[in-house]
Structures are given as C-alpha cells and as structure tokens.
Amino acid sequence: MRGGVELKTAKEIKMLRSGKGFFTLSDMVNALSDEGVSITKQGYSLKERGRTPFTAKEIDALSRILGMSLDEAFSFFA
C-alpha cells in the first residue's frame, strides 16, 4: 500500500491489458511505442510485476491506451 492506495498485482494488470486486447507483452510495448514511450519487453514486464515503478509518462500513455481517465490510471499503476 502506498499513499493510501493499494497497488495492483501483476495478475490484475495483466487482466486489464488482456481485456483491452493487449494479450502479449509485445502488444503492450508496441502500443506504448505508438504513444512515444520507448520500453523493452523486459522493462515492461518488470513494471507489470511491480519490480520497478511506472513513470508518469508511461502512466499517461497507459491511460490513453487502456481508455482510462488519468486519475484512474494513476490509482491503478502508481
């Protein structure tokens, strides 16, 4: 728990991205690239598993990719 918000698990993040049609890490990395965010599959995997944090720029891009408000995305990924 950080700042009163419970961090999402890797399973919850994977379920969200898969539900939006991004079934593989490559799908998500390509979508992020289309939004101007350069990240490797390994780098994204580490973030999805909670090993490294998502940056504000990545969360902003994820909000657009996943059709979430920026507030929802920050609550989910930060």
- Give CA–CA dist 33/1, Å, rounded: 29
Instruction: Report which residue type is found at 13.
Output: I
- Residue ranges and CATH numbers for the domains of the chain are 10-77 (1.10.260)
pLDDT at 2: 44
Backbone angles phi, psi at 6, to 5 degrees: -75, 125
pLDDT along the chain (78 residues), means of 10: 58 92 97 98 95 96 96 91
Q: What predicted TM-score, i.e. pTM, was given to this entire model?
A: 0.87
pLDDT at 8: 79
pLDDT at 7: 56
- Give CA–CA dist 15/56, Å, rounded: 21
- Residues paired with residue 5 on neighbouring β-strands, in sequence order: 2
Burial (CB count <10 Å: 0-12, 13-18, 19+), residue 58? buried
Instruction: Report which residue type is found at 44.
Output: Y
